[in-house]
Amino acid sequence: MFVPVHYGSPIGTLLARFICAHAAAYFPIKMVIEDEKAFDPSRSYVIAAEPHSVLPIGIIVLTPQSGFLPISNLRALASTAVFWTPIVRSIWSWLGLVPVTRKSFTELLQRGTSCVVVPGGVQECLYMEYGREVVFLKNRYGFVRVAMEAGSPLVPTFCFGQTHIYKWWKPKGKWYNQLSRAIGFTPLVFWGRFGGPIPFQKPMYYVVGKPIEVIKNTSPTHAEVASILGQFIKATEELFERHKAAAGFADTALHLY
């Protein structure tokens, strides 16, 4: 009731820095950037984070407070449902997250601010299964279209181990899928340490691929968007295969939907 939840508030900034300073060490999270010199701090990028998992906590290393990326001007976009949730709403706001809408996405890129998005979104939770990694990308054209309209390169990233920081249970059936789409998020039961919301201390391995250049096109056709999406999907699959052994997931396959 009394702590400001907007980005940039003095209390929020202090708490965000505290969270970023300790979160990476808690799990811990190791970050690998394939080509740091490929990033130009003066440009805006669309940094696509996969997978979503129960909660995409790994993106903590992509926040400006963490300082791991060679880009300081960036914001993350999250489902509007996040901002209805007490405590979580405050934490994400302090870290600079904003509700994901086409308007905010476009305006941030046009201002030269890079955006972190989770293109698979909460719909990926519908396909989660223990013992495998899933991404939901085949029909995710929107983030690619916005990137093309702004002329912002797409950056594939993948967080190994994120699916293990919570255990979960979810019902099955067509009605569950329809309900999830109707309300904008996937209702499920999840728990961490001691049966509560604190995530398990499982190591994560976050890899950032090379930017995929796109030609600025304010009115791309569906075929043009689909072509770039195909390049992005291929780059994500190759990123996963290149690093899965080093991350400790040599026997894990990536399932694409």
Predicted confidence pLDDT, tens digits, the chain (257 residues): 555 567 777 888 888 888 888 888 999 999 999 999 999 999 999 999 999 999 899 999 998 888 899 998 999 998 777 777 777 778 888 888 888 889 999 999 999 999 999 999 888 888 888 888 999 999 999 999 999 999 999 999 999 999 999 999 988 877 877 777 777 667 789 999 999 989 999 999 999 999 999 999 999 999 999 999 999 999 999 999 999 999 999 999 999 99
**Is this prediction's pTM over 0.85?**
yes
Beta pairing, strands 154-160 & 204-208: antiparallel
Per-domain residue ranges for the chain? 10-256
Counting other chains too, the contacts that 134-137 makes at CB distance below 8 Å and 24 or more residues apart are 134/51, 134/254, 134/255, 134/256, 134/257, 135/50, 135/51, 135/236, 135/254, 135/255, 135/256, 135/257, 136/52, 136/257, 137/50, 137/229, 137/232, 137/233, 137/236, 137/256, 137/257
Calpha distance 91→87 (Å, rounded): 6
The CATH code of the domain at 10-256 is 3.40.1130
Calpha distance 11→188 (Å, rounded): 32
Per-residue tokens: 159? 């967080």
> Which amino acid does the sequence have at 6?
H
Q: Which of 207, 227, 221 is nearest to 58 (CA)?
A: 207
Helix (H, G, I), strand (E, B) or coil at 23: helix
The pLDDT assigned to 174 comes to 78
Calpha distance 251→131 (Å, rounded): 10
Calpha distance 159→154 (Å, rounded): 17
Calpha distance 204→236 (Å, rounded): 17
The pLDDT assigned to 4 comes to 59
CA dihedral 178, 118, 3, 73 (to 10 degrees): -150
Are 163 and 173 in contact by the 8 Å Cβ rule? The answer is no
The contacts of residue 219 (CB under 8 Å, 6+ apart) are 149
The pLDDT assigned to 184 comes to 65
The pLDDT assigned to 66 comes to 87
The pLDDT assigned to 83 comes to 76
